[in-house]
Structure 1
């Protein structure tokens, strides 16, 4: 019991440390929040302008479902981005500050270290996404009377575990590559953006690319959220379960695998002297 309490306090210590870093650089938080909101508005207004775009020929199109479709996509993408950055940026900041060696020498298991940082990334991402949704929704008159919010929250929380597994794996890049690692992690996110159907159905992708969507947790989160908010699907409905079990499997596999990869990268970085500050 004492061991579990010690690990719990250690996990919270990393959570609180990351919160203090966020407060220290609060101006950057404002910058990225405004950027995410403006980006979400820009994409969502595409839905509002659907009947005015070339090829519509003035046809009367119900833009409400399209607006909500795009709004869900931008929200999930913002959440995924903030969660990824919450994990990878902690490594990047410690590389820049020259404190990463001290963190790795602390008598704390790497699993505890990563879990603390990951839970903060989830809380940070949820807060960002909630604020973004409030602001963007104020610009549109959306009918959410049929939405099932319980199912939506359920899908987002289940998907968070898988996002964290991918985030831990991506955090290996800034650990091994001081100058380029952070930029390289953007490639992982960009690929997920392309194949997950964030702004369009997966069926429009080339045939050879569509199977790649099945390995992205964002695919299932998006499908589950759209079923919940557009169609009012309940947690016990078939469409929610069809997107839940792949997320469970992905989370069970990706989190331990991400930790194992991170431990391997840590040992390699220590052996080759890559933890030395040079940025």
Structure 2
């Protein structure tokens, strides 16, 4: 019991540390929030610029694009919340001390990932509020329980992918963060963020089945656009793939990270020179 309490406190310590890093670089938070809001507005204006659409169709398309850009913001912030912490510690030369701390790697990653989820939800909520007010969207028919549940469930899978991707800044100090953008770009391409996956070439569509973002987007659109409840077939058909993806991605992500950590320690890649 005392051991579990120690690990819980240690996990919260990483949460608190990441919060302090956010406060330290608060100006960047403002910049990225502004960027994400403007990006969301730029994309949703496409709906109003599309000719020959009735008002109801314009509202539907705005919501469709808004859900896509919001999930993309959440995915990006969550990914960065895991990978950027590794990158910052590597650059500041403190990652060796973190890896020598008397805690399990799971405790370390849980603390970082929990903060990434909270950070991502806050960013996404602020963006949604601004865009909804800007376009005066009617969300009275939305099922918010479905929306929140799908985001939280999707977070588990996103975190698994984020942990696996964080090995890139761990192993490659200068280019690791840029390399992690490739993973996000592939997810953006195949997940139907701004269009249905059915428009993808036939050989590319199976890739969308591996992306948790595909199921999160489908569930969110069912909840926001159609007001579907959690137990409806349209939502449940996206819940069980997320459960499987989360159950697989986190253990696999942790295994990949442990292997990369051992390799980095053995080859001296944790030491930053210059």
- TM tier, smaller: over 0.9
Aligned-residue offset at 1:20? 0.3
Q: How far apart, in 1, do the equivalents of 2:271 and 2:113 lie?
A: 24
Indicate the SS of the match to 1:234: coil
Q: Which residue of 2 aligns with 1:168?
A: 163
Q: Which residue of 2 aligns with 1:15?
A: 15
Q: Which residue of 1 aligns with 2:28?
A: 28
Cα-to-partner distance string for 1:18-60 (whole Å, 9 max, x where unaligned): 0000000000000010010010000000012112xxxx4xx64
Q: How far apart, in 2, do the equivalents of 1:60 and 1:123 lie?
A: 38
Indicate the SS of the match to 1:276: coil
Q: Does the CA-based 8 Å contact 1:33-1:128 persist in structure 2? A: yes
Q: How far apart, in 1, do the equivalents of 2:191 and 2:69 lie?
A: 12
Q: How far apart, in 2, do the equivalents of 1:138 and 1:147 lie?
A: 16
Q: How far apart, in 2, do the equivalents of 1:71 and 1:43 lie?
A: 8
Q: How far apart, in 2, do the equivalents of 1:232 and 1:278 lie?
A: 54
Is 1:158–2:153 an aligned residue pair? Answer: yes
Indicate the SS of the match to 1:18: helix
- In structure 2, stretches of 5+ residues that fail to align are none
Q: How far apart, in 2, do the equivalents of 1:145 and 1:41 lie?
A: 21
Q: How does 1:177-216 map to 2 (within 5 A)?
A: 177-216=172-211
Q: Which residue of 2 aligns with 1:258?
A: 253
Q: How does 1:243-254 map to 2 (within 5 A)?
A: 243-254=238-249
Aligned-residue offset at 1:4? 1.0
Q: Does the CA-based 8 Å contact 1:44-1:71 persist in structure 2? A: yes
Q: How far apart, in 2, do the equivalents of 1:143 and 1:242 lie?
A: 26
Q: How does 1:219-258 map to 2 (within 5 A)?
A: 219-258=214-253
Q: Which residue of 2 aligns with 1:48?
A: 48
Cα-to-partner distance string for 1:207-257 (whole Å, 9 max, x where unaligned): 100010000000000000000000010011111110000000000000011
- In structure 1, stretches of 5+ residues that fail to align are none
Cα-to-partner distance string for 1:172-210 (whole Å, 9 max, x where unaligned): 000011111110000000000000000000001111000
Q: How does 1:57-206 map to 2 (within 5 A)?
A: 60=54, 62-206=57-201
Deviation above 6 Å: which 4+ runs of structure 1?
none
For the aligned residues, what is the CA RMSD? Answer: 0.9
